[in-house]
Structure 1
Amino acid sequence: MGLINLGLTGIHASQAALDTTGHNITNANTPGYTRQRVEQSANTPRVEGSNIIGQGVKIDEIARIYNQFINDQILRDTSSFYEYDTHLESIQQVDKLISQSETSILNELSDMFDAFQTLADDPSSSSVRSTVLNDIEDVVIRFNQLSARLEEQQLITQDQIENSVTEVNALVGSIAALNKQILEFEGGSSAAANDLLDQRDQAVRQLSEFMSVRVVEESSGAVNVFLSGGQNLVVGTIPYELEVTDNEFDRTQKSISVNVNGNTLGVDSQISGGILSGLLDFQNETLSKSLNELGRVAIAIADQMNDQHRQGIDLSGQVGGFIFTDVNDMDAARSRFISSSNNATPNDRVGNVTILDSSVMTADDYIFEFTGPGNNNYQVRRVSDDSVVTQGVLPNGVPTSIEFEGISVNLESGSFQAGDDFLIRPTRLAASEIDREITRGDELALASPIRTGSNIGNIGTAQIDEGSILDLYEQYPNDTTLLSTFATAGALAPPVIIKFTSETTYDILDNSNPANPVSLVPPIEDQVYIPGVNNPIFPDDPGVTIIETTGANIGQVVAGTTNGYGAENLTFTFTDPDTGAVTVRPTVAIPANATAQDMVNILNQQDGVEATARSTMFLSNFVDDAAGAPLEIVINGETLVISPPDTVNADTVAAQINADANLNLQNIRAYSDGSQVRIESYIGVDLTVTVNGTAGDSVDVTDSSANTLTVVGPGNSATIGGTVDVQLADGLQMNSDNAGGLFAAFPVAQAAFMGYQVNINGAPSNDDTFTVDFNTDSVSDNRNGIGLIDLQQAKSIATDGKGLTFGEAYAGLASEIGADTQSLSINKDAAESVMNLSVSLRESISGVNLDEEAANLIKYELQYNASAQVIQVAQEIFDALIAAFR
């Protein structure tokens, strides 16, 4: 090849090395630049005889000093850091908003309950009542402000998502364009397009700031870029741009999709890491959780304070109204039921979501879906963990309701069908919707609507408490209809008297006419009282009902020694109030001529059944012919002999009955008005009267319906059977075959719930009475006000298996957001350290070291000069040879 050519190859190699070194130095601060190096090797030597003579050097390539593994690690670490950094930057705003005292709800709540406490100490104060109204308004304003700030943060996040997607699409387009340039360059040359490769790697790294990506290089040199879930972003020279779309349920939330061959595919679930993942996590988790939990606290406060306030009466004696907006206002209820934009046409489905029990409801959202195959098959999934909450088949289409976790989903109308999806959002908007409903201080209902009293003539030691309100409103179909007990303004309908018929039994009577109390409808009589303990007097379950024996011969006077009642079969059906499951129990048989006491013993063996009985007989017109033996009256086997000098009258008969120990054991008592004896058995034994003596002796026996039978001696009898009242627990129904005429085939079950409860303690005496009436003097009464104040410390919001107060529930939200903020801060710092380590490792391998490059300049300059010297020597030799031949 010659010495000149050898020198030339050296010069070429040195020049390339100098150029590459200069290129490295000038790009030392270029983002993403990869240090280059000239890769060279010896040319193929030539063989001359037995010698191999070198042919100089050749340039193999200008190589990038590049490590693919480290580059992939940088992509992963970059995505991780930017995800934490973005989420942290956003959540810090929420953390400050919720936790700082200037914006927290806790101070306003405390001020409001303090004002209620002051008012309870002086219920008639108009100035304090005004203060309470102002503090209620402050609570409303703070809830509204917090919600508005969170919604503002939501709008900011939407803009950030849209801007980020715009940048992502620019990068995706740039990567595809660079693929094309690289293919064009490398397709016409064996050299690598190093600078273009650097630009493409830098674009991919910038893309990893927005999301985690997976990069696969093709044999052609192009790279394909995929989301972590596998969706294409770049395939060769084709970019797939992302789109920001509205969530199918909520336009205020953004989703991300990609258009593939005209089909829009949602990719939220495939996006992990990076700015977009941080923004989506903040939108879908932090903001949703904050708005939902804030709304749950707002609903709990409004619902429970409204409920308590509506159990009292105001200064004018009117039942209290709503303090806050009704949580089940129809507009609010319908806003919680959101149809998917993907549901089939027509768009005619109407539904709403009402709050049944704010103390057990969660802050979760739910997906209500019609799963098929039929149009009535449904399933409810919790959004937070995708678990199934409830599922089933709608029994009769719509309208219908499905109850779970303290709420009721009410399908009103429309063509609900398989494939339909609905978002159930019980609490999301509550903090923005809460408002003050009450407008005047005198409308604050601090007093209880009932007052109790004791007869000053009572001789026992029993005492009645002041009573408590259970609920003034009917539960079904809504809670806006007052119970009949309280439906008359300024009155109790009816006022009642509790009359003890013995030391251990009592009747509750309608006291509308105090001169003549009568049975309630339905009757509540023959109730058992236990001396020495606290006895609740009224049924306290709204679902309790009472059925009476209604047959034509029930309690009627009949000749003979049996009551004449027929045999009858009863069926009890239980419908579980929670699950709706129906259970039909085995038939209960009542034998013929069973006493009311027998019936009670049989019925009380059934779960949820509490039966009581009473037998009543009236005796009058006692006739003694005085011709022979004295008048003998046999009552339930006990003979009463009435002879001179005794006077044959009602007082004498009643006295002998009450003095008879065996009759007392049968719980039989007698009462005389001077002309008539009323005989009562409070356990429902049959009452049988037999007249002995002579043929002229007789007694008139009268039943409660005023039917009279004259029993003439000797040896004739009359019997009156007892009546039975059957109290049924919530969900229990009783039917009869009506064979014996005891109960109607489908007996009417009448509600026994009075809406209030009183308790009596101590030892009453027979004929002691107590009263319950409307609280007409309520100006200084604070009993319902105390109930409102007690809500501050009530553990009335269920969370993670325990109860929290209003303040604790809000503080729990602040604590959870604070913990998430701290966790993100720690993770962000750790991710940043890892990313910096990866970047440092890359720089140590692929970065430009100016000291090293400066040394290389000297080295390659010397190499260049040396090669030039080789050429000069070759030239001198050549010149010498030419000169020799001249």
Structure 2
Amino acid sequence: MSGSLLAIGKTGLYAAQAALATTSHNIANANVAGFSRQTVVQATSAALDTGVGFLGTGTEIAQIKRYSDNFLNAQVRNAQASTSGLESYYGQIKQIDNLLADTTSGLSPAMQGFFKGVQDMAANRASVPSRQAMLSSAETLATRLQDLDSRLGEIRTGVNGEIEASVTAINTYGTQIAKLNEQISNFASSATRPPNDLLDQRDQVVLELNKFVKASVTPGDNSSLTISIGNGQPLVVGNDSFQLAAMVSPTDLTRMEVGYQVGSKVAVLPDGALSGGKLGGLLEFRTETLDTAQSALGKIAIGMAFEFNAQHELGLDQNGNKGQPFFNVAPAFVGASINNAKGTSTDPAAELSAKVTDPSKLKDSDYEVTFKGGKYSVMRLSDNKEVGPVTPGANGAATLEADGIEFTFEKNPREKDTFLVRPTIDGAANFKVLANNVSQIAAAAPIMTSMELTNTGTAKISEGKVSKDFLTAPPALPVTLEFNGGNLTGFPAGSTVTMTDSAGKPITFDPAASYVDGATYSFNGVSITLSGKPKNGDQFKIQGNSSGVGDTRNIAALGELQTKNIFNNGTATLTSSYAQMVSQVGNKTREVQVNAQAGNALLAQATGAQADVSGVNLDEEAANLIKYQQAYQASSKVMQIAGTIFDTLLSISR
């Protein structure tokens, strides 16, 4: 009898001792990240059949249970991936928001200062001081655009560095998970004896992984976990881990891409393939905001340079010479060719260049050009639409104009030669003033008009304007128009004359009755307006301007570019385009900020729900210590009683 009591007391003692150890383990690890509360699960030992009934033999430890809920763990992981991605995005985009919206270092003050210089020059009859002030304000504008682009370039460099660091962290976590899988598989010989602490460590590493990229978790064989990222690319399978690789883009040396490594080969993953986590946020920021902002800034620079040059070339400089390009217009960025069939080619057979020819038609998109089936296919990446195939000639030469961009192909292409074209991303970086002397500013118009002193009517002729056609097919000057019997004669032979009324509405030109009061006449790039009532024999002369001194008609036209609708099919000015860019970045910044705050709240809620199940409550554990201490003492008392009984039996026998 005493032997049974001793055995029963011993089982209770061992169970209480294990419970005390487990409770102490909980208390010691209460502040360890990822630790899950554990408890001892006891079961009744097999009873002894005495013939008159079953006699209990004590207790046994059935399991050291770990409180962990897979559903709640998955919620925390998903919330962590989303929140980390949004915080990463916000940390980057707020830099651009602050940069563009700054009232002193933004583009708006420099642009307003430049056009003020242009307008002051027109008001001061193009004096030398006003010319110098205008040239200085142009240099200030160029510097501001370059500085803004340089700052965006610094942000891009920072993103590249963080992408590399994130890839390294992801690879490290993948290796750790694979090692933990192996250890857990070695220990997990029974479902009732899982290695709880190793499971906690693995769950915590998986959670840390989700801070860098969203990872999908699937139970594998022998208590292992299979981890996949992106579009299902496996990162960990059993005891094996796979690697990501950070690599410089073959088409853009300023861009760091993420590749998936299999053996010695690396396949570049699209930016949208990896979502969530710090890496996903960085890639999303670069694609949606950084590339867009830098291209939008470049678009403004190119549109400014293009339109200003077009008008400047219609004028005369201080020496009476035709105006030259005032600003540099940056060519489109064209990445090195990639041949999908033969790998990257450093000396591709095909060559491609591109430039903006009409800013109003730009579509705010990059383009992918591929040679396939004997044709060049130009794909607009913003909507994945083909804007026009073109078949090259025998020597591979071809030209295609689409979306305000001219694509020029040279040399013989190979099948699947592929190019990336970014029309405006380098526009601000390469924006510079080409004029280096105040005398090169073409302030004057190339024509001047006059009326004969012998005219007897009241008709007057405007100062006259010229368009780009004047540069390609100018009329032989001087041109003398004469009014006779309701008709104007003297237009250059063979020229096409168009008319508009005072409201700008087209009028059909009738050679037999061509004079209309207030009408504008255009021919060979020259436009003049006649108003009033002429009399027979009245003459109006259009002749070349022999000197640009004191004439500010062209500089006045240049000043009007500030309010000219240049972009979006003639619906947006330079100022409104920049304002739209700032607004888009600002709205996106606020959107990401609000979503990040909401994500943090959801993460806190999910973490709290997980802690309710897995977290250690010190008050509860303190109570358990007392309970298990009493159980230990009680079991000891049982053993003491068994010893007393045994001693009593021995004394009787003596």
1:318 to 315, 318, 321: 321
Q: How does 1:629-778 map to 2 (within 5 A)?
A: 754-776=524-546, 778=548
Fraction of identical pairs, as percent: 32
- Matching residue of 1:813: 581
* Letter of the 1:466 counterpart: E
* Change in CA separation of 1:815 and 1:200 when aligned onto 2, cut-off 3 Å: same
Residue 644 of structure 2 is aligned to residue 873 of structure 1: no
- Matching residue of 1:527: 511
From the two aligned structures, give the one with the greater helix fraction: 2
* Change in CA separation of 1:296 and 1:124 when aligned onto 2, cut-off 3 Å: closer
* Preserved CA contact (<8 Å) 2:469 2:525: yes
* Letter of the 2:352 counterpart: G
- Matching residue of 2:405: 407
- Matching residue of 1:27: 29
| Aligned equivalents of 1:366, 1:202: Cα separation in 2 | 43
- Matching residue of 1:884: 652
- Matching residue of 2:506: none
1:503 to 486, 490, 496: 486
- Matching residue of 1:120: 122
- Matching residue of 2:374: 375
Q: Kindly provide the CA deviation profile for residues 608-657 of structure 1, in whole angstroms up to 9, marking residues without a partner as x.
A: xxxxxxxxxxxxxxxxxxxxxxxxxxxxxxxxxxxxxxxxxxxxxxxxxx
1:212 to 211, 214, 237: 214
* Letter of the 2:566 counterpart: S
- Matching residue of 1:384: 382
- Matching residue of 2:505: none
Q: How does 1:274-673 map to 2 (within 5 A)?
A: 274-325=277-328, 327=329, 332-333=330-331, 335-336=333-334, 338-340=336-338, 342=340, 344=342, 347-370=348-371, 372=372, 374-376=373-375, 378-385=376-383, 387-394=384-391, 396=393, 398-411=396-409, 413-471=410-468, 482-483=471-472, 485=474, 493-500=476-483, 502-504=485-487, 506-509=489-492, 520=493, 527-539=511-523
| Aligned equivalents of 1:503, 1:258: Cα separation in 2 | 79
| Aligned equivalents of 1:447, 1:189: Cα separation in 2 | 91
SS at match of 1:256: strand
Q: Kindly provide the CA deviation profile for residues 819-844 of structure 1, in whole angstroms up to 9, marking residues without a partner as x.
A: 11111110111101111111111112
* Letter of the 1:46 counterpart: L
* Letter of the 1:483 counterpart: T
* Preserved CA contact (<8 Å) 1:337 1:351: no
CA shift for structure 1 position 318: 1.2
| Aligned equivalents of 1:802, 1:793: Cα separation in 2 | 11
* Preserved CA contact (<8 Å) 1:796 1:803: yes
* Change in CA separation of 1:142 and 1:341 when aligned onto 2, cut-off 3 Å: farther
CA shift for structure 1 position 461: 4.5
SS at match of 2:586: helix
| Aligned equivalents of 1:521, 1:868: Cα separation in 2 | 123
RMSD: 2.2
SS at match of 2:355: strand
* Change in CA separation of 1:819 and 1:538 when aligned onto 2, cut-off 3 Å: closer
* Change in CA separation of 1:286 and 1:527 when aligned onto 2, cut-off 3 Å: same
* Change in CA separation of 1:118 and 1:835 when aligned onto 2, cut-off 3 Å: same
* Preserved CA contact (<8 Å) 1:311 1:472: no
CA shift for structure 1 position 342: 4.4
* Change in CA separation of 1:265 and 1:351 when aligned onto 2, cut-off 3 Å: closer
From the two aligned structures, give the one with the greater strand fraction: 1
Q: How does 1:123-272 map to 2 (within 5 A)?
A: 123-187=125-189, 191-267=193-269, 268-272=271-275
* Letter of the 1:142 counterpart: R
SS at match of 1:22: helix
* Preserved CA contact (<8 Å) 2:35 2:615: yes
Q: Kindly provide the CA deviation profile for residues 91-121 of structure 1, in whole angstroms up to 9, marking residues without a partner as x.
A: 1111111111232011111111111111111
CA shift for structure 1 position 522: 6.2
TM-score (norm 1): 0.69
- Matching residue of 1:53: 55
* Preserved CA contact (<8 Å) 1:61 1:191: yes
SS at match of 2:564: coil
| Aligned equivalents of 2:635, 2:144: Cα separation in 1 | 83
* Change in CA separation of 1:311 and 1:522 when aligned onto 2, cut-off 3 Å: closer
* Preserved CA contact (<8 Å) 1:293 1:427: yes
| Aligned equivalents of 1:219, 1:300: Cα separation in 2 | 61
| Aligned equivalents of 2:190, 2:251: Cα separation in 1 | 53
* Change in CA separation of 1:281 and 1:415 when aligned onto 2, cut-off 3 Å: same
* Change in CA separation of 1:874 and 1:225 when aligned onto 2, cut-off 3 Å: same
* Preserved CA contact (<8 Å) 1:368 1:380: yes
Q: Kindly provide the CA deviation profile for residues 688-737 of structure 1, in whole angstroms up to 9, marking residues without a partner as x.
A: xxxxxxxxxxxxxxxxxxxxxxxxxxxxxxxxxxxxxxxxxxxxxxxxxx
CA shift for structure 1 position 532: 3.8
Q: Kindly provide the CA deviation profile for residues 22-70 of structure 1, in whole angstroms up to 9, marking residues without a partner as x.
A: 1111111111111111111111222233422222111111111111100
Q: How does 1:56-135 map to 2 (within 5 A)?
A: 56-135=58-137
* Preserved CA contact (<8 Å) 1:309 1:784: yes
| Aligned equivalents of 1:123, 1:335: Cα separation in 2 | 40
| Aligned equivalents of 2:72, 2:218: Cα separation in 1 | 15
| Aligned equivalents of 1:850, 1:523: Cα separation in 2 | 95
Greater CA deviation, 210-219 or 62-71?
210-219
* Preserved CA contact (<8 Å) 1:452 1:466: yes
- Matching residue of 1:791: 561
Q: Kindly provide the CA deviation profile for residues 393-428 of structure 1, in whole angstroms up to 9, marking residues without a partner as x.
A: 4264632211111111111x2222332221111101
Q: Kindly provide the CA deviation profile for residues 855-883 of structure 1, in whole angstroms up to 9, marking residues without a partner as x.
A: 11110010011111111111212222222
* Letter of the 1:537 counterpart: Y
CA shift for structure 1 position 466: 1.7
* Preserved CA contact (<8 Å) 2:464 2:529: yes
| Aligned equivalents of 1:115, 1:456: Cα separation in 2 | 37
| Aligned equivalents of 1:362, 1:448: Cα separation in 2 | 33
| Aligned equivalents of 1:105, 1:63: Cα separation in 2 | 63
* Change in CA separation of 1:816 and 1:60 when aligned onto 2, cut-off 3 Å: same
| Aligned equivalents of 1:810, 1:171: Cα separation in 2 | 43
* Change in CA separation of 1:381 and 1:523 when aligned onto 2, cut-off 3 Å: closer
* Preserved CA contact (<8 Å) 1:500 1:507: no
CA shift for structure 1 position 467: 1.3
SS at match of 1:431: coil
| Aligned equivalents of 1:334, 1:808: Cα separation in 2 | 23
* Letter of the 2:320 counterpart: G
- Matching residue of 1:36: 38
* Preserved CA contact (<8 Å) 2:300 2:574: yes
Greater CA deviation, 755-764 or 876-885?
755-764
* Preserved CA contact (<8 Å) 1:293 1:363: yes
* Preserved CA contact (<8 Å) 2:83 2:277: yes
2:621 to 839, 853, 878: 853
CA shift for structure 1 position 13: 0.7
| Aligned equivalents of 1:337, 1:316: Cα separation in 2 | 42
* Letter of the 1:123 counterpart: R
